[in-house]
Amino acid sequence: MKILILGGTVFLGRHLVEAALVSGHEITLFNRGQHGPDLYPQVEHVRGDRWSDLDLLAGRTWDAVIDTSGYIPSSVRASARRLAGAVGQYVFISSISVYDDVSVIGVDENAPVSPITPEQLREVEAIVPPTKGIIARVYGDLYGGLKALCEQAAEEIMPGRTLNIRPGLIVGPYDHSDRFTYWVMRLARGGEILAPGLAGRPVQWIDVRDLAEWTIRMVEAGHAGVYNATGPAQLLTMGETLDACQHASGSEAGLTWVDEAFLLAEKVQPWSQLPLWLPDEPENAGFNAVNISKALDAGLTFRSLIETTGATLAWARSRPAEWEWQAGLAAEEEERLLKAWHVKAGA
């Protein structure tokens, strides 16, 4: 198959390219060349900005396009319009953040999505080009609603030919967000480690390679519709995740599970300072319990925890020593919190 990828050189995009090449597909990458410009010399590169250079794709045809870089509805609508007559299938990488209410366990693809007012949308689209980083800093709470509108835009232009994939937290090699990498590297460093909340609390995430390989299989099969895509297939806990992280390095780290009321009182930021942790509050009850039965029925599979943590650790160790971490507790802050916790627990 001939597959066009909008993006293709950052995290999921890289793994999509690799999975597609393994399956023997012909790949064209359309991006600005700002990340990994020397990657994949064996594939065609079209350098351009999706906001101004879509005409560079005119006169070409592909079997499918995979949009990994769409965050604003008008951008996705413009891409879909340009490509509607040039591709058979539009694959949009969305997010489970689209859901308006994750207080319910087992949210499926039919659940309501987050609304955005016309005024909010106008404010966002007034930023040109509205990059992901700018949107996250200024309108981070609108991310899910914007993704939902992007899905709708693609389906509106290419009805019945759009595949909207809604991943949960994506983890693995090349994930520079550090939302999972923090734990793999922190366990490898050893010592006493602050672990949030309860070891038995459920978590959901998906290895980027599993997501990429399944996405390519979905393209090959010509699927359309909406699919949640996170994992694993069975219940996974925070304790099991951290055990797998420790197993990857063989460290002798010791976990100290700290009460989340204490962490909140200390102004520790869930998800960012302590990745994978969300307070045990009613509004979060379903965030790590999203229904993925539809994707499982469509062939989504998962590699082992050990494979994921091992590959993530190997990649993370290859990064520069001066890497500036994007998530996780600074060592000094973790030490301070642990000391304060031991004082409180011993009081």
Q: Which of 132-146, 156-170, 187-201 has the lowest mean pLDDT?
A: 132-146
Q: Report the chain's terminal Cα–Cα distance, integer Å.
A: 66
CA dist list (Å): 317 to 23, 76, 179, 322: 29, 36, 16, 12
Choose the weakest-confidence range: 94-108, 116-130, 199-213, 309-323: 116-130
Mean pLDDT of all residues belonging to the chain: 95
pLDDT at residue 165, rounded to an integer: 98
Report percent pLDDT > 70 for the chain.
Answer: 96
Residue 162, pLDDT > 70, answer: yes
- Binned at pLDDT 50, 70 and 90, residue 133 comes out as low
Bridge partners, 270 (sequence order): 274
Per residue in 251-261, pLDDT tens? 999 999 999 99
Q: What pLDDT shows up at residue 132? A: 60
Domain ranges of the chain: 1-167
**Measured between alpha carbons, how far is 200 from 151 in angstroms, rounded to an integer?**
34
The amino acid present at 60, given as its one-letter code, is R
Q: How far apart are CA 229 and CA 171, in angstroms?
A: 13
Catalogue the E-assigned strands of 241-347.
254-258
Mean pLDDT of 35-61: 95
Q: Convert the pLDDT of each residue in 182-216 to its tens digit.
A: 999 999 999 999 999 999 999 999 999 999 999 99
Superfamily of domain 1-167: NAD(P)-binding Rossmann-like Domain (3.40.50.720)
Q: Say yes or no to pLDDT of 137 above 80.
A: no
Tokens standing for 86? 């040039």
Distances (CA, A) of 97 to 12, 147, 230: 17, 8, 12
Mean pLDDT of 71-76: 93
pLDDT for the residue 141: 86
Contact (CB, 8 A) for 95 and 143: yes
Q: Is the pTM of this model over 0.85?
A: yes
Query: Helices 118-125 and 143-157 sit at what angle, rounded to 10 degrees?
Result: 90
Question: 98 φ, ψ to 5°?
Answer: -65, -20
Predicted pLDDT at 215: 98
Tell me the average pLDDT across 333-339. 98
pLDDT at 125: 84
- pLDDT of 144 > 80? The answer is yes
On the question of pLDDT at 128 being above 80, the answer is no
Residues comprising the chain, all counted:
347
Q: For the segment 278-321, what is each residue's pLDDT rounded down to a tens digit?
A: 999 999 999 999 999 999 999 999 999 999 999 999 999 999 98
